[in-house]
Amino acid sequence: MPKLPEQTERISEAEQAVMEALWHRSPLTAQEVCEEVCGPRGWTLATVKTLLSRLVTKQAVTTEPDGKRFLYSPRIERDTYVGGESRRLVDRLFGGRAAPLFAHLAQAEKLSDDDIAEIEALLKELKS
C-alpha cells in the first residue's frame, strides 16, 4: 500500500472509524462498512457513503466497481497512518520530543507495571 500523500487532508475521527473497518477487512461495500460501524455510532448508510466519498477524495481509499456497487479498500497501511498521527501529536504537543510525552503519560495516566515493563523492553530494543 502506498504512503498517505503529504498533501492529503487529515482524516477525521469519523473517517478513521471507517478506515478501521477497512483495515480490519477489505475490500468492503458501503453496506458492509455500515454493518461494521453504523450500529455503535447511530449512523446511517448515507453517512457511511459520505465518509467513504471524503476518504476517496483525500486519496486514503480506493474504489473498484463491482456491478452496481463499489468495493472500497484502504490506500494506506494502518501503521503508516498511526506513525504520521503520532509524529503530529508529538510535534504539536511536545515540541517534537518524545521524552516529555512519556513523562506526561507516566504522571497523568498512572502507568501500570506491565506498561512500564513494555516501555523498558522497547527502550532496550532501541538501544541495541
Q: For the domain with range 78-127, which CATH number is right: 1.10.4040, 1.10.8, 2.40.50, 2.60.40? A: 1.10.4040
Q: Which amino acid is at 128?
A: S
Distance CA 42, CA 62 (A): 25
Topology of 13-74 in CATH? Arc Repressor Mutant, subunit A (1.10.10)
List phi, psi (to 5°) of 127. -70, -30
Place of cell 506498561: 115
3-state helix, strand, coil in the chain (%, to 5): 60, 10, 25
Distance CA 97, CA 74 (A): 30
pLDDT tens for the chain, residues 1 to 128: 444 444 457 899 999 999 999 999 999 999 999 999 999 999 999 999 999 999 999 999 999 999 999 999 999 999 999 988 888 888 998 899 888 888 888 787 777 889 888 888 988 888 88
